[in-house]
Each structure stands twice: as structure tokens, then as C-alpha cells.
Structure 1
Amino acid sequence: SSQIAAGTQDMMGEDVSIHFKCEGVLYSLLVKTSTKEITLLMVKALICKKFGWDEKTVELKLRYIPLIVRCDEYMTVADDDDLMIYLKTVDNQGCRCMLHVEATTSSTQPTAQVSRAEKESSFGMNYNDEIGGNALTLYVDNGEAEQEEEAEKEEDAEKEEDAEHEKEAEKEEEAMDEDDVRGEYRHNEYDEPPVVQSSSYTEPWEDGLNVSLLQEFPNKKAVQRMVDKAAFENSFGFVLVKSDKERYVVKCRHKSCDWKLRAAKVLNTRFSFSIRTHNKMHTCSRATQSTVKKRKGTPDLVAGLLHGDYPGSMETPSPGTIQKLVHTRFGVKISYSTALRGKNRHAYDLRGDPGESYKKLYCYLHMLEKVNEGTKTSLKLDGDGKFLYLFIALGATIEGFQCMRKVITVDATHLKNGYRGVLVFASAQDPNRHNYPLA
């Protein structure tokens, strides 16, 4: 048999081109018809014609791995419907999966049989029909006739022995049938099958974290997201052993497994964590797909996914697209709100949490007035101590307003963050009618 790896691609127009590789050489076929009119027999005939094979003696088997998540099994193209599904199944780039074709050639040929009378002739002739009784035949005896007679006698003896064995077997079967009718069974003739004990050995496998000892992370949250993402991608569960401001320790949920990870805070830093202990090999069996589905997706999982696919970018997909992305990557369904919270958390990790930024306003205004002379700032809170108003006018803009046209324009825009609010601008115009920011 020969193995052929083939790929198909629709070209412009109705023609369909088929590219495949056989024994290290690339070939191509052109089917001058539309996709709907292509049949399985047509494709097989073109492949046989390409290699000069006889369709009657060569049997082709077409298989491919379908574009299904976590599917490693081959799907056989058995009829025209299967072929149509393969031709119409493409990915986002319009490419199909690899097609494998197995060709099996049967080389059985009928052999001519010679009759007993022909064996007696030195030329394969039947002397009884071709030569008269008064003819005189001369031949040289080289011992072949005697050898053939001995072989025939041995065959006859073997046939007689086989016939005797068959008769004995029939008698035994009849006796067993009679015992079954009377309700008697021959337990003494039954051999118990050997007891086979299943092996408890499981080949170790990696967790997929791809981290090294003493590798540092910006905070403990980053370590948690990394472990959670690897658990979803590689289908394993873990339990929390210790988690506080100084340490983060997790281990495999199987007691017999040796997998473990320990991270601790780096000295003389505020938030940084580093990996101190990591046994990357699991000695347990992988969790089944049903076990993974029981786990719920979290905003941290979504944020970790976006950090990996869109590093340092604020432009991320919509929550609906993120739902499909998480389900395709991890096999977990998440809600729209979870996708939105994960999207916002990704933005907070890049720009900072708005809540923490509001807490630093007093420090920011102090440094702003100290560095820029003449700067005016004002911060007001409501009765509950919550943020209400903020006013900023840089000293340079106040000084430059003396040369501007005495017309002030006020505009505002709504803020779309979690705290909402309104951002108000005050601007003037210079002698060239250009906008000049004031406050």
C-alpha cells in the first residue's frame, strides 16, 4: 500500500484544484466542474489515472481529521455526502484540513491447473485424446513420476486422517448436545481464563506552565492567572494549600500526584512574587473532559487569555467574541457579564484600577502645583467623603491667556468607565483662531 497526503483548494471560477503528495513528489489535479458536481468516484478515477493505476485492482481509502475541537480521530470519506462535507469545511482562512489517501493493490492472479492425465505427459498433452493406442512413446525416466506418485499417496493418507478426526469431533459435539438437553454440563473440561490485573502505572506528563525557578511576576494575581489558565488548557485540577500576602502554594487535587507549585514574595519589593518550588510533572491521569466542563470560567481567566493574545493592547474583541474564544480554547462556556468583566480587568491591568487612581489624586495635585508654578487645583468631596468635583488649570495656560481673544468655549463629554461622570473642557482662541486649552 502507498500513503498519499493531499490538500484541496478551490480556485477562481467553478474549477476545483487538488494538490497532493506521493512518495516525496508533489502532484496536482484539476477537476473541471463545480464543487456540487464532484463525486467520490470521480476523484478516485482521477487519482488512478494520474498514477496509471487500474481502478479494478486498486482500492482507494480517503480519510481526514475534521476541524473539530480536540478531535484526533480520522473521518472516512465513504460516499458523496462525506466528500461534499469535506470540500465545504474550511477554516477562517479558507483552507481545508489535510486529506490522506491510502491505495491498496491486490496482485492475486489465477493459476492454471493441469489435469492428472496431463501430468503424465512430458509436454502437458492428454495422451488418451491426442495419441492412438498403437503409438509408441519414448521418454527418459528421471524419477519425477515416482516422486509424484509418492506425493499423491501422502495426500491421500492425510485426507483419510482428516476425515477420521472430523468424525471424532462430530461424535463429541453430539454427546455434548445430549448433555445440554439433559441439563448436564462438563465442568471438568472448562479451563478458567487467566486473571489479568490492570496496571496502575501512569506515564508522567507536564503541566504546560513553562516557568523556571526564581522567575518573577509583578504580583500574586499574575501567578494565580497563569496557574488557572494552564489548568484549563491541560485539563488538570488543583487545590489551594496556602495563600496570603507572602506566599501562594498549590498542589494537584489527586493525593498521589507529586505536582506542586510554590511562589513567595520577593524581598525588598512591594508586590513582586517569584517561583520558589515547582514540580512540573504530573503523576496522575489527566482529568476527563466532563470534569473540566464542571469548572467555571472567571474574569481572571478571560484577562489572562487577553494578556497572552493581545499583550499591551487596549483593542480587544467584543464580549460575545470573547465567549466563543474561551469556549474554543478551554472548552468552557462563560456568560456575557463574565467576558465583559474580564475585558475590563485586562484594561485595568494595563492602565491601572480607577479606584486606586482616585485614591492618589491628592498626591498628584500636590506634585502638579509644586512642579508647575501658578497652577490652580481644587478637589471637592460630598457628605460621605466620595469624589465630587476636580478642577485643574496649569500656570502656563493661565499666563498665556493674557494674549488670547477674550472668548471662552466650554465643552463636555461623558465618561464610560465604571464610575461614569462628565469631563468638562474650557478653551479660548489665539489670534490665529487656534484652540487654546485653559482648564
Structure 2
Amino acid sequence: MGVGQTFDDAIVFRKVLYKYSLAHRFGYIFVRNSPKKMIVKCNIDGCKWKISAYALRKTTSILCMKKFHNEHMHSAQDNLLLKQKANSRLTSSIIIDAVRGNVEKTSNEIRQNLYKEYRLNLTYRQALREKDRALEEIHGLPQKSYMLIPWLCEKLKETDPDTVAKWVASTNYRFDRLFIAYGCCIKGFLQSAHLILFIDGSYLSGLYKGTLLAASVIDTNNDLFPLAYTIVGGETYDNWAWFLENVREITHQVQLTIVSDRHNAIVGAVHAIFDGNRHAFCYHHVKENCSSEFTKINRGK
């Protein structure tokens, strides 16, 4: 805006400068780039455009613009030949307002908006990465936000029961484990689903590791009907016992036939929680395990 304008710190100054250069289509280089002193000039030789900002005091990070020569001494052809480069950290600062207003904005929409407004070309992967950066800046790191889940569950318990019952019937957590079962699923299971419970664990290979434990049933249309799930550190006896104990509580201790693979932790947990009765093994797993063992035995023969 001009001499006297202040910025909270050097990071804010860089973001504003980046947006300004995209809007006015010119490139720049840093003569001095430090938290207390920022001197920037146009990257085209002979151009007099220059800006200088200094810290107000030694004890503060606030920068104040001291000099601003806002005149470019080069031809329009120089601007046409200029190729704007996408800086990942600075680009996310451009799209953060758009993402804050519409979290569902797709990566392709972000690409189109950046090109339309700034003539800035991004690949789909770059746009996706910048959206993730913007979301982290808005909501904080995902790890920190997940730590609020137990607090959220406690607040849900304090809410009007009729409201909560529409979508949550039971929330029970212990340390890093959160058991989730939706009220509509529990009601549907007790009223119409077959009393055959399918349980299994799946390793998570994404950004957040762990194991997903899930309990599902088959409804009257022979469709898969989810009942409950949790994410734990591993497929251990303690985790399975804790999970099945919660399942038994929300199913009102009705007599269930449990179907699972032959995982030792599941066998032990089912025996401890349900006395081992009515525990069936999944035919598909038995067949695959038999085939795998047969292959190992006859390998090389």
C-alpha cells in the first residue's frame, strides 16, 4: 500500500509480497531476507522497482515499510515472458481464504481459480498439496485435532439425549482407543439384522498408522450392515477384548454367532468375552490359509 504500512512479521510480509507480484505479474529477488530487514527489487535488470521494510524495534518482529519505489522500468514484453513459479508455502496462503469459505472446494477448482486470477499453473498434485497445507493452517495439525475426540465425546454426552440418539448411541474411550457405534446401526441391528457378527481387523497404511477393528452384520436384504469400529495400535488380545466388551454392551448381551478369521488374538478375546461359544471361522479365510500352507509345503517340488 505504501510507506508506513506494517506487517506482523517477515512471514506475513513474504506472503503479501508474493500475492502482490502475482497480481501485478512481475518477478522479484531478495537483496536482504531476514526477520528484521527485508529488501526486495524487481528481477529484471535496470528496473527501479524496490521495497524495503525494517523491524520497528530490536525487541519486536513487526516490520514497517520504509521505502517503496512502485515503478517498473521495463516493457510489457518482459511481463509476457515472465513465468510465475509456484512456491508451495506461499501458494497455500493464497487459497486459504477460499478453502476457509468452502472446505469442499476440489483441487481442480483451486487450479482453475489460481490460473484465472493469477495466471499461475499448478498440477493436480500441487493443488491437492496446497489445499492440505491451507487446511492445516486453518485447523492446525491433524494429530492435534484428533486429540480433541475424547473431549468431543464428553460434550456429546452432555448434549440433549434425544438429539444425540439420532446418530450416536454409545461413545466409550480409554487412553488412545475410541469405540464408535452409531445409534441407527444399533437400532437396526437389534430390530432386523441377522444375529451373526462378522469381526475383522485391517492394517492402516496411510498417513496415520494403526489397525482398524470392525464389527459388521448382514441385514434382511443380505447387505453388509456396519455396527461398530475403532482404531487401535495393533491387533492384540487386549485391544480385541476391549472392543468385544463394548460390542457386547451395546448389543444388550443378545446371543450372537461370531464369524472371524483364525487370528489368535480374536480366538482368545471371543473365548474371554463370549465364553467361546458360537464362534465360527470364515470359510474364505480357512480356504486361503489352507491354499497358502499347501503352496509353502510343496514349493520347489
Larger Rg: 1
Instruction: Compute the TM-score of the two structures, normalised by the length of structure 2.
Output: 0.45
Higher relative contact order (CA 8 A, sep 6+): 2
More helix by share: 2
Instruction: Compute the TM-score of the two structures, normalised by the length of structure 1.
Output: 0.32
